[in-house]
Amino acid sequence: MMHAKLMRATAVLALFALGACKSLDIENPNEPDATRALSDPAALEALTGGTLRTWFNRFTGMEAAGVLTTQAQSFSSSWNNFNMNFYSGVDNPDAGPAAWNRNSRSWQNDPAAAGRTSVEWLWTGMYSALSSANDVIKAIKAGRVINNAADTKRAETIATLVQGLALSSIALNYDKGYVVDEATDLANLQYSNRKQLRDAAVTKLQAAATLAGANTFTTPAGWTNGRTYTNLQIQRIANTAAAMTLAYYPRNATENAAVNWGQVATLASSGMSSLTNAGSGFDFVFTGDGCSAWCNELLLWFDGIDGGRVHTRVANMLDPVTQRHPWPLTGNPPPNSADKRLGDGSFGDETLVDGGFGTIPVTANGGTDFAWSGIAPFRPDRGSYHQSNIGHMRYDLSGNQDPTGIYGGFGPAPVLTATLNDLLWAEALLRTSGSAANAVTLINRTRVGRGGLPAALASESQAQLITKLQYEQEVELMGIGALPFYNRRRIDGLLPGTPREMPVPARELGVLGQALYTWGGSNPAASPTPP
């Protein structure tokens, strides 16, 4: 079963790689689309929806999200598909747990290195999405009408949203890049530093929110392969994405302290959740089609109990008594967690036990998000620190690893959530001495509502509430792209030596005749904080 899954995912990766855009400094790979879009309103509308699909597939793609979440010790996997084992390895794996405290791998930013693909994935994909979004807006500003005025404004709003989402991804992941929109002269591109990229992303996302608030529309279901969104929901998605961009941008705790948390609070207060009415919250959901065209690759792997596991660092947080960290050679027994998201770790039925997954058939105390497996699936020679007995099952709606669900690349899964917004909002309130009562209300939505844990109290200290908040972030962000990495990075939670951002890819540097460079390992972990 594992072999078939590896082959399928590798084939999907190859298809995506063939569609990746080229350097920004050579022939524009989207020029055929631009030409057609300027003369064909139907093609322009289809191109608008395509920008969302490109962003979704890259945001959730294993080549980056899989590597980053294993580097963060959120998920764990020793398979080297997508360079996971290479980039999540530790120094001296045979020396025992005391030596497992450093990641010596820099980004392999060399055109001859196999690991270069992880550095290229988000760069090529996000600039491809950005280029198509720019084409849409350029055509509209040139006077092109799509069906009617309302549909034209809808396309302009979504294209502006994707401009912001793409620039946000570049700002979160790279030390520098290009701020490009429909008015940019591509013949005279200059690098912008990561802070400038962040600010440009927030500006575009706020522009999208303004457009969405000023126009009435509903997006076609085909644009997310399943769900529609009103203009007011798009406005809130844009606000959440802007808050996330500001909060997850920092490369270390010092930069995190310098975040404009007041602005984060303002944006999150108009985001995808509601403090006064929990029922008005919603998630931004895309639906997989088996990875034919729509693929949440991260969940294809990590909501599969044979593809990846929850790192024992997180498993130990969920149940410190039974889930020891680092993983003992004898394995960890079934859990007995007070957190209902893990519970007793039971999951599925007898077919999963008989099928080699090693699970316990579900009981009344089975968790909503996690499952225990008695099987350690990874190669022992690659280090027992990769092993874990806990799998992430939250988005397996079948409850039984059905291949027609997330396990097979099908079905709905969120890429931004109301809970993400809740926790950003709560953190901003705590870090600005805002309302502690409101902060604990937001934290307790998942801490009590999903986890069944004792409520956080407004009378607790800021440090105590931040600890409870970070626990919720650890659990609730799992499975949402590379968010666990950004969240760990900004509080200095990564192993020493782990690169905290990516360099401009070698292929781009080569076109420009610039020297290759990288981050992490024996090099600095990240670029200096921009002024």
Task: Report whether pLDDT(410) > 60.
Answer: yes
The residue among 357, 385, 391, 353 whose CA lies nearest residue 372 is: 391
Mean pLDDT value of segment 341-347: 98
Specify if 179 maps to a domain: yes
Per the CB < 8 A criterion, the answer to whether 155 and 147 are in contact is: no
Task: Report whether pLDDT(33) > 90.
Answer: no
Strands (E), 290-393: 309-310, 370-372, 390-392
Same-domain status, 24 and 62: yes
Q: How many CB atoms lie within 10 A of CB 428?
A: 26
Average pLDDT, the chain: 91
Question: What are the φ/ψ torsions at residue 135 (nearest 5 degrees)?
Answer: -60, -40
Question: What are the φ/ψ torsions at residue 157 (nearest 5 degrees)?
Answer: -65, -45
Same-domain status, 441 and 292: no
Same-domain status, 68 and 201: yes
Helices (H) and strands (E) in the chain, counts: 19, 8
Pairing of strands 176-177, 370-372: unpaired
User: pLDDT class for 89, splitting at 50, 70, 90?
Assistant: confident
The residue among 129, 212, 209 whose CA lies nearest residue 163 is: 129
User: pLDDT class for 2, splitting at 50, 70, 90?
Assistant: very low
- What Å distances lie between residue 276 and 280, 408, 441, CA to CA? 9, 38, 10
- What Å distances lie between residue 487 and 113, 251, 401, 471, CA to CA? 28, 10, 28, 11
The residue among 17, 13, 170, 20 whose CA lies nearest residue 79 is: 13
- State the pLDDT at residue 5: 44
Mean pLDDT value of segment 339-358: 94
- State the pLDDT at residue 101: 72
Specify if 204 maps to a domain: yes
The residue among 114, 223, 62 whose CA lies nearest residue 158 is: 223
Per the CB < 8 A criterion, the answer to whether 163 and 204 are in contact is: yes
Entry pTM: 0.93
Same-domain status, 63 and 210: yes
**CA–CA separation, 335 vs 312, rounded Å?**
12
Same-domain status, 29 and 87: yes
**CA–CA separation, 226 vs 198, rounded Å?**
30
Same-domain status, 143 and 217: yes
Question: What are the φ/ψ torsions at residue 89 (nearest 5 degrees)?
Answer: -70, 160
- What Å distances lie between residue 139 and 39, 51, 436, CA to CA? 9, 15, 48
399-402 contact pairs (CB < 8 A, 24+): 399/347, 399/348, 399/362, 400/348, 400/349, 400/351, 400/352, 401/304, 401/305, 401/348, 401/352, 401/355, 401/357
Task: Report whether pLDDT(47) > 70.
Answer: yes
Per the CB < 8 A criterion, the answer to whether 397 and 296 are in contact is: no
The residue among 197, 176, 198, 178 whose CA lies nearest residue 187 is: 178
The residue among 78, 370, 493 whose CA lies nearest residue 70 is: 78
Q: Considering only CA atoms, give the Rg of the chain.
A: 22
DSSP 81: G
**CA–CA separation, 50 vs 56, rounded Å?**
10
Specify if 338 maps to a domain: no
- State the pLDDT at residue 429: 98
Specify if 149 maps to a domain: yes
Specify if 305 maps to a domain: no
Same-domain status, 155 and 16: yes
- With a pLDDT cut of 70, the percent of the chain lying above it is 91
Pairing of strands 75-76, 390-392: unpaired
Specify if 135 maps to a domain: yes
User: pLDDT class for 7, splitting at 50, 70, 90?
Assistant: very low
Specify if 333 maps to a domain: no
Specify if 60 maps to a domain: yes
Mean pLDDT value of segment 323-327: 94
Position 99, amino acid = A
Same-domain status, 289 and 436: no
Per the CB < 8 A criterion, the answer to whether 412 and 296 are in contact is: no
**CA–CA separation, 517 vs 432, rounded Å?**
38
**CA–CA separation, 386 vs 77, rounded Å?**
6
Mean pLDDT value of segment 188-211: 97
- State the pLDDT at residue 98: 58
User: pLDDT class for 90, splitting at 50, 70, 90?
Assistant: confident
Mean pLDDT value of segment 163-176: 98
pLDDT in tens, 428-451: 999 998 999 999 999 999 999 999
Mean pLDDT value of segment 462-484: 98
Question: What are the φ/ψ torsions at residue 481 (nearest 5 degrees)?
Answer: 50, -140
Mean pLDDT value of segment 512-521: 97
Task: Report whether pLDDT(6) > 80.
Answer: no
Three-state DSSP class for residue 113 = coil
Describe the chain by its helix, strand, coil percentages, rounded to 5. 50, 5, 45
**CA–CA separation, 435 vs 449, rounded Å?**
20
**CA–CA separation, 32 vs 54, rounded Å?**
17
pLDDT in tens, 268-289: 999 999 887 777 999 999 999 9
pLDDT in tens, 354-396: 888 999 999 999 999 999 999 999 999 888 999 999 999 999 9
**CA–CA separation, 73 vs 425, rounded Å?**
25
User: pLDDT class for 103, splitting at 50, 70, 90?
Assistant: confident
- State the pLDDT at residue 94: 58
Structure tokens, 268:
């999150």
Q: Is the dihedral of CA 407, 410, 411, 417 positive or negative?
A: positive
pLDDT in tens, 134-167: 999 999 999 999 999 999 999 999 999 999 999 9
Domain boundaries, position 465: 419-473
Q: How many domains does the chain have?
A: 2
Task: Check residue 484 and give left, alpha or beta (phi > 0: left; psi -120 to 50: alpha).
Answer: alpha
Same-domain status, 295 and 425: no
**CA–CA separation, 137 vs 155, rounded Å?**
8
Mean pLDDT value of segment 56-78: 97
- State the pLDDT at residue 32: 52
Q: Is the dihedral of CA 145, 150, 152, 153 positive or negative?
A: positive
Per the CB < 8 A criterion, the answer to whether 84 and 70 are in contact is: yes
